Amino acid sequence: MVRIGPYELSSNVVLAPMAGVTDRPFRQIARRFGAGLAASEMITSDVRLWTTKKTQRRLDHAGEPEPRVVQLAGADPDALAEAARRNIDLGAQIIDINMGCPAKKVCNRLCGSALLTDENLVAKILEGVVAASSVPVTLKTRTGWNRDQRNGVRIAQLAESCGIAALSVHGRTREDFYEGAAEYETIRDIRSRIGIPLFANGDVDSPEKARAVLDFTGATGVMLGRAAHGSPWIFREVNYFLSRGEIAPALPISEVSATILAHLESLYDFYGEETGIRVARKHLGWYFEKLQDAPDVRRELMAASTSALQFALTKTCLDRLVEDARPPLRPGEVSQRAFG
Kindly list the catalytic residues. Answer: 101
Taking CB atoms within 8 Å and a gap of at least 24, the contacts of 7-10 are 7/66, 7/67, 7/93, 7/94, 7/136, 9/36, 9/37, 9/221, 10/34, 10/36
The DSSP annotation for 163-224 comes to T--EEEEESS-TTTTT-S----HHHHHHHHH--S-EEEESS--SHHHHHHHHHHH--SEEEE
**Contact, 228 vs 15, CB < 8 A?**
yes
**Contact, 260 vs 288, CB < 8 A?**
no
Beta-carbon count within 10 A of 290 CB: 13
**89 φ, ψ (degrees, to nearest 5):** -60, -30
Give Cα separations from 96 to 76, 80, 101, 252 (angstroms): 15, 11, 13, 35
**278 φ, ψ (degrees, to nearest 5):** -65, -45
The 8-class DSSP code of residue 272 comes to -
Dihedral sign (CA 71, 77, 80, 82): positive
Distance, in Å, from the CA atom of 22 to the CA atom of 173, rounded to the nearest integer, reads: 22
C-alpha R_g of the chain:
21
Beta strands in the chain (DSSP E): 3-4, 7-8, 13-15, 43-44, 69-73, 94-99, 137-142, 166-170, 198-201, 221-224
CA atoms within 13 A on the CB side of 113: 26
Beta-carbon count within 10 A of 305 CB: 9
Distance, in Å, from the CA atom of 205 to the CA atom of 315, rounded to the nearest integer, reads: 28
